Structure 1
């Protein structure tokens, strides 16, 4: 009888699961669209029950595809950050799951007392913004919800509870809420005081990959009964671990609709430095691997590239491939005075400014790529100024399929590689599950898996240097 580990990625757009063998091979993949409801004025949420229903559906589908006699050893969950649910003492949900980008909490962020607004980024590593869960909680309180006696669970923590596990608060997800002091990895008391609650708002704080109970014995999918449950943590940090760049000195360039850079260091900078980073768009929070702190910031580069492709009518092959080839034939930096804007996370528009009549579609595309590269160089320069070196960068995501995009990424770090791990979110979550199942009694103060658990132990294949990938 063989055993597999399941990894769930509870994403903003898609909820996915992979079944992973003990040697690291992905055996089965399933997915379902994440079900949100729009209620006007930018408000987007979903019922907590719909989160669990999606997971249950996928559990049944993946179990049906496994070979007869296969059992599930563990289930790990990664997810988008900030979104979660309040539950009462009996585990009943008391609010919807509000999307991380939902504007609720904006008024509360704007009205934050001056002393709290000054200290918030220095202690929590986050900017004062409606995105942090803290401000969503303030909104719910101001709308009349009594927070006393309730407990906050992130989306994967809520699913673990529903499957039969215990209540936990995983560090990397907690580090995105505004409720954690990143210098001590304990609840930030001024935030709790401002909410009018005590430390019981948060359950037991655990490391990524810590065992959080087992699937209940009466679960309708027999193959998962008794499987070890764990919260793998924030999706970007899990993907970084899975692609082999969780160790200090390395970073993941997760290049999808947004381009998120997640760097790793062995220290947390002083509060004044953390404040400066947060104000410059780089959040600081606990990583999912042992001995590491995560530094994450992003741009809208993927969205900009998509908009430019639409303008150039080159979203699909053969036009996309032709554009790719024509751009590679241009000399480095040759944009024919074309400028593209709209990369900052706060931007709402994408503009293409034509500085001459000599441009071709390839010049426009080169300008769009170079604009994103310039933002990446600036981002990594800010990190270096804060003592966070990035000597090695791993690029992952849909845009790695275009050679012109990959070629530009060589300028970002001394060593730049293309990820060899497909579906790093689900694969990584499954490996955190395997860690939880095999290291339940792990000793020491930091029970997170080491970076080597991913890079040396079960990596599916060697990573590819970027020079070979775009040649």
Structure 2
């Protein structure tokens, strides 16, 4: 029996729980489970962004406090005390810290447009960046954001280490300063095929390999919660649970070789897991097709990931035509199923920042617009999957999850796209996956990759 469990049982007054935290763009969500991963409690708080126009940033201390509040709230909701805490979340947003472990500037949101992409392009080159960082040069990557911060926030030039948001959250609770593979793979600071810090990229920050911490895997113990944290968390084993999309795929049984996970949220994420290695030329071609390659949360596996503005585009169309509630959008989806797409030449192009309807004609009623948006974005997804299949082979199974699958038009198009697919219903799969990783770190959950067991 692990010592943490034994101590909790001797106390007798509380339940030993695993806490999983998912630091999301809108909310910081946390769950508490038992060692069999049954949900016992949950809690969420708003992610404390500071917005100004199109920009968004966060005070690292405020973000750490929000994560601690969510984690403690979940443990309290379960009448429990944590024996393990795992943290997942978005990766490109990061925290710069000095030699004392203190943040020296704000953390820019992953979707914040501020970033010096041109400097990266001039110094490293597009093709080299794609084949080494596993992604195209854009303002989402951490490296362009860090260059922008160094130019505009003088204090950030004192930074000696970079931690992504989940890594910073773990460190703020008492963990070591580490970089987890699936997270650091998405920063532009890491040589993905080489599985090591990318020294040429780090040199742009006047930094070396030590700018990154020890490279660890998801589920690896990296310390314990300190005594200044909320009482419900103190002494728990800490782990970085990896990149949010991958951690959710892991929880749903979709982080296995040959599986495709289609997550239909505000952003649609296509998450393909393959066994390593993958040739650098393939990584470059995938990045040229807007598909990122990084290390996975499962050992010795890679994750190929692409995002699409599916959910946010449907929300925009719904608001535009007066279908602002889920019930109204379901009815719109039913009506869209019986519309005749051949009656119009209308088409749509969509980004995260907006969508454009082309060739709008007299046939453009709300249901037909809905159908056009669903079908045209799905056609983009199909082209992305063709690129992935060309480089990594065809997927062998598909798992689809997310609220938009309940829309009749969306479901019909997905059935047409995939033929058959599995579905999983799980509240907060990112946080649940983080709780499972916490259990692995605490020694009370057997890593499923040892048995290839799925939930």
* TM-score normalised per structure 2: 0.90
Counterpart of 1:319? Answer: 328
Unaligned runs of 5+ in 1: 443-448, 460-471
Counterpart of 2:225? Answer: 215
Q: Which has the higher helix share?
A: 2
| Counterpart Cα distance in 2 of 1:145 and 1:52 | 20
Q: 1:318 to 1:213 in 2, by over 3 A?
A: closer
Within the alignment, does 1:410 sit opposite 2:415 as a pair? yes
Report how far residue 75 of structure 1 moved: 0.5
| Counterpart Cα distance in 2 of 1:319 and 1:146 | 48
Q: 1:97 aligns with which of 96, 99, 107?
A: 107
| Counterpart Cα distance in 2 of 1:403 and 1:75 | 38
Q: How does 1:422-433 map to 2 (within 5 A)?
A: 422-433=427-438
Counterpart of 1:181? Answer: 191
Q: 2:368 aligns with which of 343, 363, 368?
A: 363
Could you list the per-position Cα deviations for residues 261-312 of structure 1 after superposition, in whole angstroms to 9, with x for gaps in the alignment?
Answer: 1111113432222112112100100011122100111221212212222233
Counterpart of 1:469? Answer: none
Whether the aligned pair in 2 keeps the contact of 1:243 and 1:455 (CA below 8 Å) is no
Could you list the per-position Cα deviations for residues 337-364 of structure 1 after superposition, in whole angstroms to 9, with x for gaps in the alignment?
Answer: 253312345x643316435x45653333
Q: 1:38 to 1:115 in 2, by over 3 A?
A: closer
Unaligned runs of 5+ in 2: 1-8, 10-14
| Counterpart Cα distance in 1 of 2:444 and 2:158 | 36
Within the alignment, does 1:380 sit opposite 2:385 as a pair? yes
| Counterpart Cα distance in 2 of 1:307 and 1:79 | 25
Report how far residue 385 of structure 1 moved: 1.1
Runs of 4+ in 1 over 6 A off after TM superposition: none
Within the alignment, does 1:253 sit opposite 2:262 as a pair? yes
Counterpart of 1:153? Answer: 163
Whether the aligned pair in 1 keeps the contact of 2:167 and 2:177 (CA below 8 Å) is yes
Q: 1:131 to 1:317 in 2, by over 3 A?
A: closer
Task: Name the SS for the 1:386 alignment partner.
Answer: helix
Q: 1:75 to 1:119 in 2, by over 3 A?
A: same
Counterpart of 1:137? Answer: 146
Q: 1:35 aligns with which of 48, 58, 71?
A: 48
Q: How does 1:25-104 map to 2 (within 5 A)?
A: 25-40=38-53, 42-67=54-79, 70-104=80-114
Q: 1:121 to 1:43 in 2, by over 3 A?
A: same
| Counterpart Cα distance in 1 of 2:40 and 2:377 | 35
Report how far residue 451 of structure 1 moved: 4.2
* TM-score normalised per structure 1: 0.87
Task: Name the SS for the 1:177 alignment partner.
Answer: coil
Task: Name the SS for the 1:212 alignment partner.
Answer: coil
Counterpart of 1:445? Answer: none
Report how far residue 149 of structure 1 moved: 6.0
Q: 1:391 aligns with which of 382, 393, 396?
A: 396
Cα RMSD after superposing both structures: 2.3
